[in-house]
Structure 1
Amino acid sequence: MAAGLRPDGTKAYRQTRIILVKDATYDPNSPSLAKLTGASALDVTNMFYESSASPRSTTNLVTAPRRVGDGASYQRVGTSQEEIGEVRYSFDPQAAALSNGKKCFEFLPELTTGYYVTIMGLPDSGTLAVGAFATSRPFEAGSQDEVPEGDGEAAEVAIAQTLAATGPKSLNKAIVT
């Protein structure tokens, strides 16, 4: 008998890009390189702190009704919930408008809608290219609040803001032109 298939692992550390897109014509099933790198997009990979929530799905497991003759109960898949959660990003409260220190803060005012796009397995310093794969999640931004990030002498000023997942994710779609 042949050994089971064991693919090489894909490194995650420093291999994730996060891009926010606020273009109403963005198609999550055919993510466009032009839109991911255009004026209505912001690469927040190096703005988000590690403490930011990672998008995830949770699925309820429900117990099926037991039958008279059953000596065991069984589960079924119930409702799934998509979430992004609270993100924390760098913020310089004394920076000038449109400067790097306020870029994400100005890009994400409360009630902003768009797409939270992750490209995994691509170095965070790598160049996006047609044919890479991206996962897109529609979001709506909650209110912003100034908070310290980190502890003691190393703490930095950040913005904490919740991003709500507002629709289904589009998982692992090839980037087009």
Structure 2
Amino acid sequence: MDTLLGALHAAAWATYVGGAITMEWILRYVQRTMPPSQVGIVCKNAGMRYRWLALGALTVIGVTGGAMLLRIDDAVLASRPGSPELSLSDPYGRTLLLLTALWCLLAATVALMAFWLHPAQRKRSRPEMSDAEIAAERARVGQAITRMDHALKFELVVSVIAVGVGASLHRGGLA
């Protein structure tokens, strides 16, 4: 059971971080070669797919991480380097707490992107709008795109940090 949980946990992290890297480093540069009329469509479709993939992966990470935490006993901890403890007085316990906080931050960021930032990018133009209203709508969408860009960068940085923090658990956590 531990092997299955560990494999699912690692696969979910790989999927999640791989998606974050793809959205930030690959999709952004591919957009530069596209006609402007296609960029909005590609961003909309990629964003819709990514948000569900990211939310699903983060759910699997949370469930498997919680299950692995509940399955840890003193014998398992004693066999690890430095004989860590599940206590805030021990680096292992503090690292688990930090990792949980990072996971919560990532889940909140992805939920924010999925349910507020991404929908805010939709253009709400109507034929009867005046030139001033059209300009205001374009400015609003531009601001929404900028906020989404900042959120994607933040998410990528936090996800890479979380992977590093998680990897430190195999050596007893962060000192």
TM-score by length of 2: 0.20
Looking at both structures, which has the greater relative contact order when contacts are Cα pairs under 8 Å and sequence separation is at least 6? 2
Higher strand share: 1
